[in-house]
Amino acid sequence: MNKLLFSFICLLLYNYISPSYSLPLCTDLRAPFISKKALAFCPYNGRVCCDSSKDVQLQKAFEGMKISDTTCSSAVKSILCSTCDQFSAELYKVKSGPRPVPVLCNSTDASANSFCSSVWDSCQNIPITNSPFAPSLQTKAGGAKNSNSSLLTDFWQSKADFCEAFGGNSDKDSICFNGEQVSLKKNETLQTPNGMCFEKIADGAYLNMVSHPDGSNRAFFSNQAGKIWLASIPDQDSGESMGLDESSPFADLTDEVYLDARYGMMGMAFHPNFAKNGRFFASYNCDKAKSPSCAGRCACNSDVGCDPSKINSDDNKQPCQYHSVVAEFSANGTAPDPSLAKKVKPSEVRRIFTMGLPFTANHGGQILFGPEDGYLYFMMGDGGSKGDSFNFAQNKKSLLGKIMRVDIDNIPSQEEISDLGHWGNYSVPRDNPYSQDKDLQPEIWALGLRDPWRCSFDSERPSYFICADVGQDQYEEVDIITKGGNYGWSMYEGPLRFKNASADDFMDPIFPVLGYRHSDINKEVGSAAISGGYVYRSKTDPCIYGSYLYGDLYAKNFWAAQENPYNSGNFTARGISFRCAHDSPLNCSSVPNSPLPALGYIFSFGQDNRKDTYVLTSTGVYRVVRPSRCNYTCSMEIARTAESPSPSAPSDGHVAKADLCSVLVLYCLLLLTSFIL
């Protein structure tokens, strides 16, 4: 009874505290947290972006300003303390560059209160030492540009000039500071999709799909054995299947890859500038007993307090016989332009990363490039021992149970790599979180994961880096990954306590934004394993636009998760029904005239350059299509009389330009959808 009560309380706490807890909303792009010590100077509570040390720094900075007027003093204090707000990254527009103060609310409605105007009115003639409002470039002619103590009127001609520089309006996509802790408003009632319609466009079992970096209608597919194919994606409503010739792979790495139920080629990534430099990367497992090049340090070593002699088991006679590898290959020399290459020689350029695996499961393996920073992210599971018995996921010196972030464009010399203790040929970005946590290995971006199986960046909001993490016995979870974030495993499985430990053993877990219990899915399925998907950004099905789509490997269930309020990280997931279009190019069902697709196992998801979403299964490739093709109703669906042209494969090395009309239609549809949602 106590266990049931405890689980119930955990779920209540999870539902109450998890929204927005894992978003990278602070100015240092970390997640907000519950401060262990109440802030004494800044009047912020709940989730905050400041600890007590930062609170003291802000107080000293404020006292050094020597503001004599009470009203002005109060306004400036609130502005300084806004960096502690859980939405401070948005307030300070950190992606646009550094700002000395947040965006101040500046309503154009004369009847509404404008915080920016009130700051000007109360402070314009008050001296402020080291004023945060001193501009770096725009100054009033003859003004005291570098004065330690200044008035607002020393720098700005008028209130209008001041608020043009520091003001902004709050809307659905942006927030501004009004002198108080930010509180987001809920959106209008979200429309629940009636269902999701699929068409089958290819046979074959593929683990990975990556859109071609040249922006065309092509995509790469790979299987677990180690083959990569380049395929042309047919237009929606064309009635055509995918142009993929399995007899002619783009690259064949099967000689390098060790294939077994839990091993194989787990990921691939193409350099953002692949169309010019031809660089691409594969993540796979190798067997050192069969391949001389399969050699690296064992993840179980003295650095992490692990003795390899103690991890032998019946299914793992030789610890670290198998390795996780990330290797670089090149398409150069196979065509006049790498974007035209249709087949490459699988000769390895360099070994980016190699690490011996202590057990036979939970080694993730997905790789992808960050859309904004261009760095390579590598998802690694906890190594596979039941319950993470060696506590790898929480050990900051271990790379197991982590998401790593490395720079493969600036590779140090071999001497430097040896001195730095790297696991391969890469450098570490300077803004990785180890600079703020000296105990953390420099490659680590986030920790506390069990087996991250498919992560993606939202194409419209890249700060939403969403990963599905496979659970063990009870719970499957979806996390929004943030710099330095700790996602709890193995002290927690999702929001549920997994191991007993004192408060000193584990600090500040970030709970999932979505998830499900094993007991809540298909009762006929003996196990569960989540497969992460994408935030749907296609115009094809406007009723699921903006929803995060994901599924379960075994249960063949799908969920569409909608966020409310916008930019809050508070998601509500709904199980979504699905059918196969009656006019699918390939037969979807194993039962004649049945609308239910014979999916088999749900391996993964994919997204093409038009943002259409795909499901990769053991029986083939399925694409999300217009809901009306399955007799689902979506009030926002636009009847199609003629399909706008899709991006096509380049004929001369250059990407075809999108038709202006189709772009305008898409833009208008997105605006309409955003307004309705």
pLDDT in tens, 85-142: 999 988 998 777 778 899 999 876 655 679 999 999 999 999 999 999 987 534 443 3
Per-residue pLDDT, 10: 37
Q: Where are the alpha helices (DSSP H) in 50-147?
A: 52-63, 70-81, 88-91, 115-123
Is residue 231 pLDDT above 50, yes or no?
A: yes
Say if pTM beats, i.e. exceeds, 0.85: no
Instruction: Evaluate whether 527 touches 512 at the Cβ level (below 8 Å).
Output: no
Mean pLDDT, range 179-190, rounded to an integer: 77
Per-residue pLDDT, 204: 95
- Tell me the C-alpha to C-alpha distance, in Å, between residue 533 and each of 257, 530, 668, 671: 25, 10, 26, 24
Is residue 403 pLDDT above 80, yes or no?
A: yes
Mean pLDDT, range 338-343, rounded to an integer: 91
Q: What is the mean pLDDT of the chain?
A: 85
Is residue 649 pLDDT above 60, yes or no?
A: no
Three-state DSSP state, 78:
helix
Q: What is the helix (H) or strand (E) element at residue 379, kind and residue range?
A: strand 376-380
pLDDT tens digit sequence for 247-264 = 999 999 999 999 999 999
Is residue 663 pLDDT above 70, yes or no?
A: no
Is residue 322 pLDDT above 70, yes or no?
A: yes
pLDDT band at 188; cut points 50, 70, 90: low
Mean pLDDT, range 525-551, rounded to an integer: 93
Lowest model confidence (mean pLDDT) among 295-299, 488-492, 506-510, 616-620: 506-510
pLDDT tens digit sequence for 475-506 = 999 999 999 999 999 999 999 999 876 554 55
Is residue 674 pLDDT above 60, yes or no?
A: no
Which residue in 290, 248, 85 sits closest to 178, CA to CA? 85
Share of the chain above pLDDT 90, in %: 64
633: number of Cβ within 10 Å: 11
Lowest model confidence (mean pLDDT) among 226-230, 563-567, 629-633, 652-656: 652-656
pLDDT band at 79; cut points 50, 70, 90: very high
Mean pLDDT, range 311-331, rounded to an integer: 81
- Tell me the C-alpha to C-alpha distance, in Å, between residue 221 and each of 242, 249, 622, 646: 11, 9, 13, 19
Q: What are 561's two structure tokens? A: 């998760």
Per-residue pLDDT, 4: 40
- 381-403 in b/e form (b: 16+ CB < 10 A) is bbbbbeebebbbbbbeebbbbbb
For the chain, count helices (H), then strands (E).
9, 33
Per-residue pLDDT, 149: 72
What span, in angstroms and rounded, lies between the C-alpha atoms of 229 and 250?
5
Is residue 311 pLDDT above 70, yes or no?
A: yes
Place of tokens 């989730």: 47
Three-state DSSP state, 670:
helix
pLDDT band at 3; cut points 50, 70, 90: very low
What span, in angstroms and rounded, lies between the C-alpha atoms of 349 and 329?
5
pLDDT tens digit sequence for 155-178 = 899 999 999 999 988 766 678 999
Three-state DSSP state, 1:
coil
